[in-house]
A and B are shown apart, each in its own frame.
Chain A
Amino acid sequence: MDTSIWRPIIYLVCFMAFAGLNAAYLGWCERKGAGRIQRRTGPMEVGFHGLLQPLADGLKLMTKQLLVPEGVDQILFRIAPILAMIPALTSMVVIPFSDNIQGRAVELSVLMLFALASIGMIAILIGGWASANKYAVISAARAVSQNLAYEIPMLLTVITIVMITGSMNLQDIAMDQQGGFWHWNIFRFDKSIFMPVSFLIFFICSVAETNRAPFDMAEAESELIAGFMTEYGSMGFGLFMMGEYLNIVVGACLTTILFLGGWSCPFGLFPGVWWFLIKIYILIFTFIWVRWTYPRTQVYKLLNLSWKILIPFSMVNLLVTAAFIKVF
């Protein structure tokens, strides 16, 4: 591997730019998507079709005062937004965008990604708890119970993928699915007949893990104001939002690599980073689509879905995969 100092610097700059652009413009895409689905136009005033809106929003957030209310935990209150952003940004390092575009080829990259995802949850817990606000505390408690419940089926599904590939390296998992859509994990009926189901489970869990509607119990505005973000203004709030959108990007990348063949083309033509980007943006659009289709669930229904449906289904799938691998 090339060990010159330029490689990490170039990757760092590129990933930061990619992350920043995504965090800013996914907000715009979300507003446009919401508008279209509700038959409005979405932002139109700032720039061509509102394209400069994220810039204007960013400037507005940056020029506001970073207010730290009285009675909050001084240190934790300041740490939480940063902690929400950093794991999402760090996750970018191990994601293989293509066979030769990867920040760092880590052998246990799947494990690392899920460890980082849990830190994002801790950021919500810290932010909510440090705010000294009843809504924030309730929201933090909800977020933790939700994330715990949904991490189990998610990890069970990942275990099936790891068993199929025999590796925890994202690069290996993606390489294993090259050469046409019938090689993708989602359609590998020779490994388990339930692979599409486990793709659905993984997708539902990634929606829940990123605290997106219909699972946005942590920031249910109708009853919890803005949940853990209630006391945050200015860029503190901005960082939480950017972290949320980056988590969506990471979730879409992970789904693409684990189930949709990473950078491989469905027909075996021109494999490359563009296919990867097309796939993640289709998935991100689905995230937006889902958000503006379903109303928010209730807490107990949310937990019921995980414990009564997703976990048993993913366990059955795990057993079936193990049996298939053993028999065939």
Chain B
Amino acid sequence: MSAYWNDVFGGAKSLAIGLSITAREFFKPVITMQYPWEVPEIPERYRGHIELVKNEKTGKPKCICCGMCMRSCPSGCISLVGKKPEGEKKKVLTKYELDFTKCSLCGSCIESCNFGAIRFSKDYNLASTRKEDYVFDLLKRLEEQG
């Protein structure tokens, strides 16, 4: 018989505790982020797809077209072309393409670059219905960013 009363009173008490917990939660502030209206701050070490780094003085990419990134990439995502204009000593980057469908964000390309010419971007808004949209022309992207 005492087990029965323990069950009744213990149960009633635990129900009341449950209600008080949810009542307190009700008045606490919302913790979810209203995504399209609120944009999250991307952490420092976030790995988006790679992007070219600009030389602040000249406004051109820092890349010297050595091709180390291309060779270090285990999946062969990167393809770049550099041309030597008439009368110049150094090559100038003319095309830098990243096939993001194969990239696993390992970062080997960034480690292999001795000139700090590429880095991880903070771009996370990537959605498309077509595969071709994920072949990025990074040189064009850099120019568009201004």
What is A's interface to B at a CB cutoff of 8 Å?
Answer: 33, 35-41, 44, 289-290, 292-294, 308-309
List B contacts of A44 (CB < 8 A): 34
Say yes or no: A293 contacts B22, CB within 8 Å: yes
A33 → chain B closest CB, angstroms = 8
Chain B residues near A36: list those with CB within 8 A.
Answer: 25-26, 30
> Contact: A289 with B23, CB < 8 Å?
yes
B22 near A41 (CB under 8 angstroms)? no
A40 CB contacts on chain B under 8 angstroms: 30, 32
Q: Is the CB of A41 within 8 A of B18?
A: no
Contact A290 B30 (CB under 8 A): no
- Nearest A residue to B8, CB-CB: A309
Contact yes or no, A292 B32, CB < 8 A: no
List, in ascending order, chain B residues with CB within 8 A of A308's CB. Answer: 4
Contacts of A294 on B, CB cut-off 8 Å? Answer: 15, 18
Contact A37 B8 (CB under 8 A): no
Q: Which 6 A-B pairs have the closest CB atoms?
A: A293-B22, A39-B31, A40-B32, A36-B26, A37-B22, A293-B18
B32 contact from A41, A289, A290, Cβ within 8 A: A41
Taken together as a complex, chains A and B put the C-alpha atoms of A294 and B29 apart, in Å, by 21
Residues of B within 8 A of A (CB): 4, 8, 15, 18-19, 21-23, 25-26, 28-32, 34
A41 touches B25 (CB 8 A): no
State whether B34 touches A41 (Cβ < 8 A): yes
Bound together, the chains give a CA A293 to CA B19 distance in angstroms of 6
B37's nearest neighbour on chain A, judged by CB, is A44
Contacts of A292 in B (CB 8 A): 22
Contact of A37 among B4, B25, B29, B32 (CB under 8 A): B25
Tell me the complex Cα distance, A289–B23, Å.
Answer: 8
Dominant SS among interface residues on chain B: helix
Asked whether, in the complex, the Cβ of A39 is within 8 Å of the Cβ of B22, the reply is no
Nearest chain A CB to B12 CB, angstrom units: 9
A289 touches B22 (CB 8 A): yes
Residues of A within 8 A of B22 (CB): 37, 289, 292-293
Q: Which of A33, A35, A289 contacts B19 (CB 8 A)?
A: A289
Contact assessment for A41 and B30 in the assembled complex, using a CB-CB cutoff below 8 Å? yes
Chain A, Cβ-Cβ closest to B12: A200
B26 touches A37 (CB 8 A): yes
Question: Taking the nearest CB of chain A, how far is it from the CB of B16, in angstroms?
Answer: 10
Chain A nearest Cβ from B34, distance in angstroms: 7
28 A/B residue pairs, CB under 8 Å, sorted by A = A33-B26, A35-B30, A36-B26, A36-B30, A37-B22, A37-B25, A37-B26, A38-B25, A39-B28, A39-B29, A39-B30, A39-B31, A39-B32, A40-B30, A40-B32, A41-B32, A44-B34, A289-B19, A289-B23, A289-B26, A290-B19, A292-B22, A293-B19, A293-B21, A293-B22, A294-B15, A308-B4, A309-B8
A224 to B19, CA, bound (A): 27
Q: Which residue of A lies closest to B25 (CB)?
A: A37
List chain A residues, Cβ under 8 A from B28: 39
Q: How far is the CA of A293 from the CA of B26 in the complex (A)?
A: 11
The residue of chain B having its C-beta at the shortest distance from the C-beta of A313 within the complex is: B8
A188 to chain B, nearest CB (A): 22
Q: Which residue of B lies closest to A35 (CB)?
A: B30
- Highest count of chain B CB atoms <10 Å: which of A33, A38, A292: A38
CA distance A292 to B21 in the complex (A): 11
Give the complex CA separation of A292 and B25 in angstroms.
Answer: 11
Contact residues in A for B19 (Cβ distance below 8 Å): 289-290, 293
A300 to chain B, nearest CB (A): 14
**Complex formed: what's the CA distance from A37 to B21 in Å?**
9
Give every chain B residue within 8 A of A39 (Cβ-Cβ).
Answer: 25, 28-32
Q: Assuming A33-B26, A41-B30, A309-B8, what are 11 further A-B pairs, CB within 8 angstroms?
A: A35-B30, A36-B30, A37-B22, A39-B31, A40-B32, A41-B32, A289-B22, A290-B19, A293-B19, A293-B22, A308-B4
Which residues of A are found within 8 Å of B4, using beta-carbon distances? Answer: 308
Q: How far is the CA of A301 from the CA of B98 in the complex (A)?
A: 60
**When chains A and B are docked, how far (Å) is the Cα of A123 from the Cα of B8?**
33
What CA separation (Å) do A294 and B20 show in the bound complex?
12
Nearest neighbor of A44 in chain B, beta-carbon distance: B34
Determine the distance from Cα of A309 to Cα of B26 in the docked complex, in whole angstroms: 30
Docked Cα-Cα span, A229 to B92, in Å, equals: 67
